[in-house]
Amino acid sequence: MTIPSIALNDGNHIPLLGLGTYKTPADTTAEVVGEAIRLGYRHIDTAALYGNEAGVGRAVRDSGLPRSEFFVTTKVWNTEQGAAKTAAAFEKSMDELGLDTVDLYLIHWPCPGNDLYVDTWRELERIRESGRARSIGVSNFAPEHLERLAQETSIKPVLNQIELHPALQQREIVDYCREHGIEIESWGPLGQGKYPLLEMPEITAAAAAHGKTPAQVVLRWHVQQRFIVFPKSTSPARLAENMDVFDFALSDAEMAAITALESGRRGGPDPREFNA
């Protein structure tokens, strides 16, 4: 099964679907990621916070496939913002991953109360110039945070990784990013299991109509809007299920019915207030 890729604003390409690893235990990460790679996943999303970069890197190195086939993302955690700390955090992530380069390095949260994200971004620019991160981007940034980067720094983020699922569609951020050539990644694409998304009639009806599962319908709703997704699972059956979303299309009416599920329901912290 081939997963399509899309072009980023710096000319690099990213597979539209990958594997999330938040809460994947460190001691089983290499095994889970190895299984995902055997199934055809080539894009893995991790973070220093997740404590499992070593397992991700090991699975990529042990796959027997060329490094160039993979797209690996990691992120600098909030307590490591500011140029010097971020430079050290990047070295630590690269040591953990055991790779020469990372495909995408992200600022995990803006933490506006700490006012360090501009300085942190300048360090990401230097890291990109060194060639060790092929692309750089942000996560959980609101338009005003992106606007400050645009005013005060040189390189535009390739993408913004934000909480996005049918109950929280973040249209203001999506519109800003689309206008400025910044791609969107949906974190928590299945709602993190925090509300009964997969039982909602709009989803189950589309699943029945297409002979697909509710999770596949929700993931299709994302990729059909060009939102990059990396659902998390540790089960081989679900890993296979979650990537199998490129052989059907939701109708305009099915897309609209799912889009109408917006309720402003946030599962994670509000990035405008989160400064941990």
Can you tell me which of 238, 246, 274, 275 binds ligand NAD, judged by CB under 6 A?
Answer: 238
The helix-helix angle for 143-152 and 117-130 (nearest 10°) equals 60
256: alpha, beta or left? (left if phi > 0; alpha if psi -120 to 50): alpha
Q: What is the DSSP string of 52-68?
A: -HHHHHHHHHHT-S-GG
Task: Specify the residue, 219 or 257, whose C-beta has the smaller distance to ligand NAD.
Answer: 219
Can you tell me which of 74, 81, 135, 139 binds ligand NAD, judged by CB under 6 A?
Answer: 139
Closest CA to 267 of 196, 206, 216: 196
| Residue 252 CB partners (closer than 8 Å, separation 6+) | none
Residue type, 240: A
Site string for ligand NAD, 207-236 (x = CB under 6 A): --------x--------------xxxx---
Q: How far is the CB of 148 from ligand NAD (least distance, A)?
A: 19
Specify the stretch interacting with ligand NAD by CB under 6 A; choose among 56-64, 145-153, 189-197, 244-252: 189-197
Q: How far is the CB of 89 from ligand NAD (least distance, A)?
A: 15
Task: Specify the residue, 187 or 221, whose C-beta has the smaller distance to ligand NAD.
Answer: 187
Q: Tokens representing 72?
A: 């690996």
Can you tell me which of 97, 190, 243, 257 binds ligand NAD, judged by CB under 6 A?
Answer: 190
Angle at 84 between CA 80 and CA 85, to 5 degrees: 15
50 is catalytic: yes
Q: How far is the CB of 26 from ligand NAD (least distance, A)?
A: 14
Selecting among 50, 105, 117, 176, the annotated active-site residue is: 50
Q: Report the alpha-carbon distance of residue 89 to residue 81 in Å, rounded.
A: 9
Q: How far is the CB of 214 from ligand NAD (least distance, A)?
A: 7
C-alpha distances out from residue 228 to 4, 126, 185, 252, Å: 10, 26, 4, 20
Decide: is 21 part of the binding site for ligand NAD (CB under 6 A).
yes
Residues near ligand NAD, by CB under 6 A: 20-22, 45, 108, 139-140, 161, 187-193, 198, 215, 230-233, 238, 241-242, 268
The catalytic residues are 50
